[in-house]
Amino acid sequence: MTTEETIALFDKYVIANYSRLRRVIVKGQGSYCFDAEGNKILDMFPGWAVSGIGHCHPKVVAAVQKQAGELLHVDNTFYTEQQGLLAKLLSERAFGGKSFFCNSGAEANEAALKLARLSTSSEKYKFITAEGSFHGRTFAAVTATAQPKYHEGFLPLVPGFVYVPFNDIKALESAFTDEVAAVMVEPIQGEGGINVAQKEYLQAIRQLCDEKGAVMILDEVQTGMGRTGKWFAYQHFDVEPDIMTLAKALGGGVAIGAMMAREELAAKLVPGKHASTFGGNCLACAAGVAVIEAIEEDNLLENAVEMGQYANEKLNELKQKHFIIDHVRGIGLMIGIQLKGPGAQIVQKCLDKGLRINCTHDSVLRMMPGMIVTKEQIDQAVDIIDSVLTESGK
Ligand SMILES: *Cc1c(COP(=O)(O)O)cnc(C)c1O
């Protein structure tokens, strides 16, 4: 099919709830993807962080192929080795605890919020979340998402949510009544524009939750699985959550989400309280195991640290040349370039030159390359951004 033919199918049969770039992608390999017209694209935003170790990592592909030949799916009435093994590997790299598996970030957050209500006393029903957050699109997850643009048209939302400005300890303290069941934040806000939490902020959440008997939930759907140079972003902040949610990069391109909880909380989720038909499916879990093994065997955490530093230096050099760049922020390979104006046009022009990046919050260019990214690829990306900014007179 030609690009035009595929797009015609979408126009006729697919609900148009996404604004899409007019390219049909047919193949992915490491930091590159290829469109139906044979163009090679340097992908510095593979799968919105889903392809965390790049497109089609050979170890993940091999694990999926092997698993597909043995057993695609069996329901949670039975046990599978793959689900048990993935839960073990996650527990050992996080704060201990146990996993519940689902299929997406929003679902993982739903599970976390339900468990927080279930595991605290009955007068505790409120959830505190932060302005600029993004937690997904199901009713509770979108209610948790403290950005009015995501709420328009869907009122009334789920009751019990309270919003506070991000990184504001005073606001947190005054919102923290005895009815609060949980605080949920991202250690680095992704959709909100790569806003890094202050260490003192996360530690204040930890302390207040302990004092008040509330649950600390960290949404690591975007930050987790090594992108920041540590397995989980909270590990940069000397603090441990009670519950953590994962999805995006967990399956290396296969749909999977997880909610991890400390043992005492996990024990409350008994049969009948929560479930997911596809959750923990052996194909997805085999992919998750392969992702963790690949990150360790190929030293990708170290690479994320090094390449993150390198990209930061290169982008700061670019800042000296282009007044439109205000500053660069982020940790590891979670990179935000704060512009002094809108970024959508820049993203489009980069794509025309074979580079895929993203723009969030109108004026933040976002790059989240696969953890297999190389210096040469970063150089190439920076060169393209440089030439686009030069040609646009910025
Ligand atoms: C993407 C994202 C979600 C939602 O994940 P879905 O898989 O789209 O439901 C939740 N939280 C954060 C931080 C995310 O980046």
Among 101, 113, 135, 194, which is best to mutate for testing ligand 1, by the most ligand atoms less than 8 A from CB?
135
Start-end of H helices in 148-281: 169-175, 199-212, 263-266
CATH code 3.40.640.10 for 59-297? yes
Ligand 1 center to 145 CA (angstroms): 10
Question: pLDDT tens string for the chain (394 positions)?
Answer: 999 999 999 999 999 999 999 999 999 999 999 999 999 999 999 999 999 999 999 999 999 999 999 999 999 999 999 999 999 999 999 999 999 999 999 999 999 999 999 999 889 999 999 999 999 999 999 999 999 999 999 999 999 999 999 999 999 999 999 999 999 999 999 999 999 999 999 999 999 999 999 999 999 999 999 999 999 999 999 999 999 999 999 999 999 999 999 999 999 999 999 999 999 999 999 999 999 999 999 999 999 999 999 999 999 999 999 999 999 999 999 999 999 999 999 999 999 999 999 999 999 999 999 999 999 999 999 999 999 999 998 8
Backbone angles phi, psi at 388, to 5 degrees: -65, -45
- Select from 220, 128, 150 the least CA-distant residue to 361: 150
Q: Which two tokens stand for residue 167?
A: 């990184």
Cα 380 to chain center, whole Å?
Answer: 25
At 78 the three-state DSSP class reads: coil
For the chain, what are the domain ranges? 3-53+299-391, 59-297
Say how far apart CA 102 and CA 360 lie, in whole Å: 26
Q: Which atom of ligand 1 is nearest to the CA of 141?
A: 10
Residue 122 is predicted with a pLDDT of 86
Residue 181 is predicted with a pLDDT of 98
Ligand 1 neighbours (beta carbon < 6 A): 104-106, 109, 134-136, 186, 190-191, 219, 221-222, 247-248
Q: Which atom of ligand 1 is nearest to the CA of 191?
A: 15
Give, using CA atoms, the residue closest to atom 11 of ligand 1. 135
58-70 vs 282-297: helix crossing angle, rounded to 10: 150
Residues carrying an active site annotation: 134, 219, 248
Helices and strands (H, E) in the chain, number of each type: 12, 17
Say how far apart CA 253 and CA 61 lie, in whole Å: 10
Q: Which two tokens stand for residue 7?
A: 């797009």
Say how far apart CA 170 and CA 210 lie, in whole Å: 17
At 24 the three-state DSSP class reads: coil
Start-end of H helices in the chain: 3-13, 58-70, 81-93, 105-119, 139-144, 169-175, 199-212, 263-266, 282-297, 300-321, 344-352, 375-391
Neighbours of 46 (CB within 10 A): 27
DSSP-derived letter for residue 372 is T
Residue 394 is predicted with a pLDDT of 84
CATH topology for 3-53+299-391 is Aspartate Aminotransferase, domain 1 (3.90.1150)
Give, using CA atoms, the residue closest to atom 6 of ligand 1. 105
DSSP-derived letter for residue 47 is G
Residue 393 is predicted with a pLDDT of 86
Q: In DSSP terms, which residues pair with 52 in a beta bridge?
A: none
- Select from 252, 194, 203, 198 the least CA-distant residue to 223: 194
Burial of 298 (0-12, 13-18, 19+ CB in 10 A): middle
Ligand 1 center to 1 CA (angstroms): 32
Pairing of strands 355-356, 40-43: parallel
Say how far apart CA 128 and CA 138 lie, in whole Å: 17
Pairing of strands 126-130, 98-102: unpaired
Element (H, E) at 360: strand 358-360
Say how far apart CA 300 and CA 263 lie, in whole Å: 29
With residues binned 3-state (H G I as helix, E B as strand, rest as coil), the percentages for the chain, rounded to 5, are 40, 20, 40
pTM of the predicted model, to two decimals? Answer: 0.98
Ligand 1 center to 222 CA (angstroms): 7
Ligand 1 center to 258 CA (angstroms): 12
Ligand 1 center to 389 CA (angstroms): 30
